Amino acid sequence: MTDAIRPLIAGNWKMNGLKSSLAEFEAMLAGASEVAAKADLLVCPPATLIADFAQRARGIKTLAVRMLQHNANGISVARHLDAHPKVRKAFYPGLPAHPQHDVARRQQKGPGGMLSFDLGTIEAARRFLNHVKLCSLAESLGGVETLISLPAMMTHASMPKEMQERVGISEGLVRLSVGIEDVEDIIADLDQALLYV
């Protein structure tokens, strides 16, 4: 590691509350580089590895509390959508009507923050998506913020329509990765967007 990078990394580690010493990490990095060199592998630049390591370490520290919030928000949003008159059907393993509800209860500590719901038509789904404000339209799901997508037009657009229907992806299906924001804010955003459906 160069002397120019050392103070920046040490300062970032201290700010982020990482307990591993810089020397411990340098030793680990040197060992990994040595193994990779023997195996003739391409190794990322040390600064890239350090930044990635620091981000992962910081994320792991808060994973348990984030998952508790994802679970709590997920079940609240799913129940709300399941009872909403403009939602044809909500799909969430935390709802008793879900076909894998019992399996989810046995295998999981909580039902999570992923759910989907059917608004009936592509037009209804588009109007809804065009009016959400807090929820961000994204194909990548699983961040701390609430993310929303339209699988038939986004993640599964290359799949033939007949196959989409066979696996349960209707034109009006909306997928939601419920984030850790205040659940009342999430529900309020969904409700105001459902006014346009």
The pTM for the full model equals 0.72
pLDDT-wise least confident of 80-84, 86-90, 136-140: 136-140
* Closest among 95, 153, 160 to 124, alpha carbons compared: 153
CA 74 to chain CA centroid, Å, is 12
> How many CA atoms lie less than 13 Å away from 166 in the CB half-sphere?
5
State yes or no: pLDDT of 12 exceeds 60: no
What's the CA gap between 3 and 88, in Å, rounded? 61
17: left (phi over 0), alpha (psi -120 to 50) or beta: left
Residue range(s) in the chain whose domain bears CATH number 3.90.1150.10: 64-194
What's the CA gap between 178 and 10, in Å, rounded? 35
Q: What percent of the chain has pLDDT over 90?
A: 51
Query: Yes or no: is domain 64-194 CATH 2.60.40.10?
Result: no
For 81, the token pair is 């959508």
Between 53 and 136, the higher pLDDT residue: 136
With b meaning 16 or more CB within 10 Å and e meaning fewer, what string describes 100-120?
eeeebeeeeebbbbbbbbbbb
CA 193 to chain CA centroid, Å, is 21
